[in-house]
Amino acid sequence: MFHPRRTLRALLLPLAAGLALTTLPAQTASAAGTLTNGGFESDGAGVATPAGWSEYGSTAASFTESGGHGGSHRLSHYASSAYKVETYQYLSGLTNGNYKLTAWVRSGGGQNSAYIALKNCGGAEQRTDLPVSASGWIRIVVPVNVTNNQCTISINSDANAGNWINVDDLTFASGTSGTSIHGADISSLAKSEAKGGVYRTSSGTTGDAVTILKNAGMNYARLKVWVNPADGYNNKTRVLAMAKRIKAAGMKLLVDFHYSDTWADPGAQSKPAAWAGHSYSQLRTDVYNHTYDVLNALKAQGTTPDMVQVGNEINGGMLWNEGSTNNWSQLAGLLNSGYDAVKAVNSSTTVALHLAKGGDLSGTRWWFDSAVANGVKFDAIGLSYYGYWHGSLYDFQTTLDDAASRYGKPVFVAETAYPFRLDSEDSHEEIINTTGELVSGYPANTAGQRRWMNDVTSIVEAVPGGRGLGVFYWEATWTAVTGNGWDPTDASSGNGWENQALFGYDDTALSSMAWFRHR
């Protein structure tokens, strides 16, 4: 937590600034080809202008102080009144090529903007916003292609009174970063359209939701499959039809097998009615045949999925009780049946396992350690991460990084979302509908929704080793349409999610769709 010590800092400024100028003249006076004083350790606390760095704007709001990420000190931006300040360092004599800046950051939030940028490097400025994290340090990255042998590292705050950031342990080295998945689950779309749902561009023109999302930058769609749902939606036939639209739009496809007739999640993993009473051995065959059947039909129509989830949010296993985590050897057999079926249809399709444990380090470790010990086969790890349920952004980064390194697999966010308002459009209460349920620093408006998505994606981008694949937004198209409620057995059931769609209550595309353009 940041605790400004204004009085002490004022006393230390003249002495510390004098020491910096007498002991390190070369670093403050000329540019260098390598980053100087990236850990802000050269001067100690209370220094107005850290060695190697320059400042512009409200310079009194930029200073070093005790409490670093790695070492003893950090850079902070803070003032008791509104301020705009930039702390920057100019690098010259660089060999042209790809570089990546890595930084550890904290922020109390509330700024108009707070970001780290690489600019004047020969091409477009690259920037990464600081996620709001008041206690835990978060790693962010900024990649750039240097084409003019120089680059400026810029730490920026456009802040209101009392806002603060901490920045530390910056490194600038060869490398690159980015995310390949900027996706959304649109499983609700077919039924919405059938029940009269309308989707409009940001200018109000009625259009096809898939096209609108594609034009916003979406490149990957996720569709759930139920075995024999009561309303007929999200079954094999409907998935085949939607897959054609997704592939025609040039998007990739993730098929999410629930192995149920209705919602499968951490609290419910009910067997499909057709498989009720089957032995464990038969259930293994059921999983294989169902998986193979759906995927083979998709392949036959030219829409082979790029990724498949064997199970949905299977914290406690699937196909209860036979496939519960209380019986890992049986769960492993069911998961491997799904894996084998996917590979039998197309060996290059990525098979992911999906937990709703985005901020649960110990729980994620326990689950995947058990899976590995029981010989479960998988290619990627998907985690649901909803900030109002699954822990802080710091917890999320810690869990994601650990999963990637511990199991040597790429990781992605299979589900996340955020509200753009708190009231409901239909008569059904929203799942998230009070300010107390929100994540601190992320208001329930389109700006907050967009900020949440960009910051979650930035954390995925920063996973070491390039193992962060990207993010799927959950149910971007689930607007309030009569008949398209949550319960497939009840046409009058409402929707508790329309305030977390990416289309507004006037059915127009929200500006928060801009997150699809994240690196």
- So what's the pLDDT on residue 330? 98
- Strand order through the sheet with 73-78: 62-66, 73-78, 164-174, 97-107, 133-146
In the predicted structure, residue 30 carries a pLDDT above the cut 60: no
| pLDDT bucket at 130, cuts 50 / 70 / 90 | very high
- So what's the pLDDT on residue 427? 87
The enclosing H or E element of 103 equals strand 97-107
H-helix segments, 24-144: 25-29
3-state secondary structure of 498: helix
C-alpha to C-alpha distance for 131 and 100, rounded to whole angstroms: 18
Q: 181-517, which class in CATH? A: alpha beta
In the predicted structure, residue 258 carries a pLDDT above the cut 90: yes
H-helix segments, 112-178: none
Residue 82 has a CB neighbour count (10 Å cut-off) of 15
- So what's the pLDDT on residue 306? 98
In the predicted structure, residue 510 carries a pLDDT above the cut 80: yes
| pLDDT bucket at 298, cuts 50 / 70 / 90 | very high
| pLDDT bucket at 31, cuts 50 / 70 / 90 | low
Mean pLDDT, range 445-472, rounded to an integer:
98
Mean pLDDT, range 420-432, rounded to an integer:
94
| Structure tokens that stand for 374 in this block | 């029981």
- pLDDT above 70 as % of the chain: 94
The pTM assigned to this predicted structure is: 0.93
Q: What is the DSSP string of 239-252?
A: HHHHHHHHHHTT-E
In the predicted structure, residue 20 carries a pLDDT above the cut 50: no
| Structure tokens that stand for 2 in this block | 């940041």
Mean pLDDT over each residue of the chain, to the nearest integer: 94
In the predicted structure, residue 11 carries a pLDDT above the cut 80: no
| pLDDT bucket at 26, cuts 50 / 70 / 90 | very low
Domain 54-174 has CATH 3.20.20.70: no
| pLDDT bucket at 4, cuts 50 / 70 / 90 | very low
| pLDDT bucket at 13, cuts 50 / 70 / 90 | very low
Cα distances from 64 to residues 160, 202, 315, 475, in angstroms, run 20, 44, 44, 44
Mean pLDDT, range 409-417, rounded to an integer:
98
In the predicted structure, residue 509 carries a pLDDT above the cut 90: yes
- So what's the pLDDT on residue 275? 98
- So what's the pLDDT on residue 18? 34
| pLDDT bucket at 33, cuts 50 / 70 / 90 | confident
Mean pLDDT, range 73-101, rounded to an integer:
98
In the predicted structure, residue 359 carries a pLDDT above the cut 80: yes
- So what's the pLDDT on residue 28? 38
> Tokens 């100087």 belong to which residue?
36
> Tokens 């994240």 belong to which residue?
518
| pLDDT bucket at 1, cuts 50 / 70 / 90 | very low
3-state secondary structure of 104: strand
Mean pLDDT, range 36-58, rounded to an integer:
95
Mean pLDDT, range 452-458, rounded to an integer:
98
What positions carry a catalytic annotation? 313, 415
Mean pLDDT, range 218-245, rounded to an integer:
98
pLDDT tens digits, one per residue of 369-386: 999 999 999 999 999 999
> What are the boundaries of each domain within the chain?
54-174, 181-517
C-alpha to C-alpha distance for 63 and 388, rounded to whole angstroms: 33
pLDDT tens digits, one per residue of 106-118: 999 999 999 999 9
Closest CA to 47 of 7, 4, 15: 15
| Structure tokens that stand for 518 in this block | 């994240």
Q: Indicate the DSSP class of residue 27.
A: H
Sort 208 into a burial class: Cβ within 10 Å, 0-12 / 13-18 / 19+. middle
